[in-house]
């Protein structure tokens, strides 16, 4: 009798995709059930995105927050395939990559994450810099170094978007540039961090004020050029000189999702059952930014790294259950609070009855993220480096 090997294809190596792959590799597959698991991502490295800001201040190095997939998956049965997805044939259960390869599947995980919408505002796509990937961080770093080594007296930076990313970026850049920086944070709403706890909002406003970051509320961007941007406040438009514009406004689903015959909401997210399975396609699972998910309690799940990490454990379990004739589990989300970095050695943390800011929150945030790094080997390497860094710094003085 021919043994059937089930094929699981995971598209996207972010929190949802990589951690689903790792969850699957840890599950107790019997030898006859052991599937072929393939993780596909267009980049060769995973990115622990909440720590991306620390690259700008030199607090962390690339290898700490962006380890190669091959390294992370070395001791698992997960195969990594670098490539971009060209199309997905749902009826034939096949994924086609841009290099011409075809990956058949019995279970498909859609975890392609989101993209920063550059919008229809004139000049945004040409002149603004998003901040979502390692490549974005490198692009910003190169521009900062050019300005820091120039004769410019002041370095003027506008950060568009008063959400988590915008606030964290503004604080980190203000600490890096010091008195030479002239930063402004632009938000079209009436407040920053509108979905955050009041404690975090207050701490963030103080951090921005202490660093001299100018806050433009109820303000929209009209146009951007290579060295200026036009801002509209009520009925008045002012054009200001600027060296860098950072664009942190919103998230949109990857374009390939629109080509799939799957139920979507108005934000183009895939509508999933509480088991994370796409409507009318039990063989397809979706999680993270591109999933419209309600948990077992009927609560709408936010598109955050925290939610994707929790979804990954359920997704892995439910794929295993679906292939081994076991009951699937409805996703149950546990909100563990939120953390923000508000400059070098400064952060805020709320959740589970705890409210911290300053250096205590900075240390707690680092330890929490150390624990959430994808593998024990990487946790040990990074943890030892963090412990040894103060000693090395002391010996070098």
By CB neighbour count within 10 A (0-12 exposed, 13-18 middle, 19+ buried), where does 314 fall? Answer: buried
Q: Which of 132, 137, 157, 130 is nearest to 229 (CA)?
A: 157
Compute CA 345 distance to the chain's CA centroid, rounded to the nearest angstrom. Answer: 21
Compute CA 208 distance to the chain's CA centroid, rounded to the nearest angstrom. Answer: 23
Q: Which of 40, 37, 42 is nearest to 24 (CA)?
A: 37
Running DSSP on this structure, what letter comes out for residue 302? P
Instruction: Say if domain 7-42+83-115+252-323 classifies as CATH 3.30.9.10.
Output: no
Residue range 306-348, pLDDT digits in tens: 999 999 999 999 999 999 989 999 999 998 889 999 999 999 9
Q: Is a pLDDT exceeding 90 seen at residue 128?
A: yes
| Residue 1 pLDDT level (bands cut at 50, 70, 90) | very low
Residue range 285-312, pLDDT digits in tens: 999 999 999 999 999 998 889 999 999 9
The angle subtended at Cα 141 by Cα 139 and Cα 147, nearest 5°, is: 110
d(Cα 228, Cα 158) in Å, to the nearest integer? Answer: 10
Q: Is a pLDDT exceeding 70 seen at residue 4?
A: yes
Residue range 362-386, pLDDT digits in tens: 999 999 999 999 999 999 999 999 9
| Residue 351 pLDDT level (bands cut at 50, 70, 90) | confident
Average pLDDT over residues 100-124: 93
Residue range 233-265, pLDDT digits in tens: 999 999 999 999 999 998 889 889 999 999 999
Residue range 50-66, pLDDT digits in tens: 999 999 999 999 999 99
Running DSSP on this structure, what letter comes out for residue 153? S
Cα distances (Å, whole numbers) of residue 313 to 101, 190, 298, 310: 29, 37, 19, 6
d(Cα 263, Cα 124) in Å, to the nearest integer? Answer: 31
According to the model, what pLDDT value does residue 119 have? Answer: 77
Q: Is a pLDDT exceeding 80 seen at residue 2?
A: no
Residue range 208-231, pLDDT digits in tens: 999 999 999 999 999 999 999 999
According to the model, what pLDDT value does residue 393 have? Answer: 65
According to the model, what pLDDT value does residue 3 have? Answer: 64
Cα distances (Å, whole numbers) of residue 355 to 137, 141, 246, 277, 347: 30, 33, 30, 36, 11
Length of the chain counted residue by residue: 397
Nearby residues of 300 by Cβ (< 8 Å), 6 or more positions away: 292, 293, 294
Average pLDDT over residues 165-193: 97
Average pLDDT over residues 278-289: 95
Q: Is a pLDDT exceeding 70 seen at residue 397?
A: no
Residues carrying CATH 3.50.50.60, the chain = 7-42+83-115+252-323, 124-247
- Dihedral Cα 269, 273, 275, 280, nearest 10 deg: -100
| Residue 115 pLDDT level (bands cut at 50, 70, 90) | confident
| Record: fold of 124-247 | FAD/NAD(P)-binding domain (3.50.50)
């Amino acid at each position: 009798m021919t043994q059937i090997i089930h094929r699981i294809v995971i598209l996207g190596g972010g929190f949802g995709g990589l951690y689903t792959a790792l969850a699957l590799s840890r599950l107790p597959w019997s030898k006859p059930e052991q599937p072929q698991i393939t993780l596909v991502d267009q980049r060769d490295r995973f990115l622990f995105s909440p720590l991306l800001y620390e690259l700008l201040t030199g607090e962390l190095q690339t290898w700490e927050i962006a380890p190669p997939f091959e390294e992370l998956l070395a001791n698992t049965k997960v195969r990594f395939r670098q490539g971009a997805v060209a199309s997905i044939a749902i009826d034939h259960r096949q994924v086609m990559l841009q290099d011409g390869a075809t990956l058949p599947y019995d279970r498909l995980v859609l975890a392609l994450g989101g993209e920063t919408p550059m919008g229809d505002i004139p000049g945004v796509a040409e002149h603004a810099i998003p901040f979502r990937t390692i490549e974005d961080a490198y692009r910003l770093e190169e521009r900062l170094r050019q300005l820091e080594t120039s004769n410019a007296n002041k370095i003027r930076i506008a950060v568009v978007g008063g959400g988590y990313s915008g606030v964290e970026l503004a604080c980190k850049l203000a600490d890096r540039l010091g008195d030479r920086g002239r930063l402004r944070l632009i938000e079209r709403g009436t407040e920053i961090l509108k979905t955050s706890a009041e404690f975090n909002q207050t701490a963030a406003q103080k951090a921005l004020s202490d660093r001299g970051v100018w806050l433009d509320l109820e303000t929209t961007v009209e146009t951007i050029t290579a060295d200026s941007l036009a801002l509209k406040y009520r009925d008045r438009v002012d054009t200001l000189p600027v060296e860098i514009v950072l664009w942190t406004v919103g998230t949109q689903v990857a374009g390939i999702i629109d080509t799939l015959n799957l139920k979507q909401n108005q934000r183009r997210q895939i509508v999933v059952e509480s088991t994370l399975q796409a409507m009318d396609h039990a063989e397809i699972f979706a999680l993270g930014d591109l999933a419209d998910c309600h948990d077992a309690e009927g609560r709408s799940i936010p598109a955050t790294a925290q939610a994707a990490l929790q979804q990954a454990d359920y997704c892995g379990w439910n794929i295993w259950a679906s292939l081994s004739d076991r009951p699937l589990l409805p996703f149950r989300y546990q909100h563990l609070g939120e953390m923000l970095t508000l400059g070098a050695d400064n952060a805020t943390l709320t959740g589970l009855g705890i409210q911290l800011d300053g250096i205590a929150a900075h240390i707690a945030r680092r330890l929490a993220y150390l624990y959430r790094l994808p593998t024990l080997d990487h946790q040990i390497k990074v943890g030892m480096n963090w412990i040894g860094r103060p000693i090395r710094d002391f010996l070098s003085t």
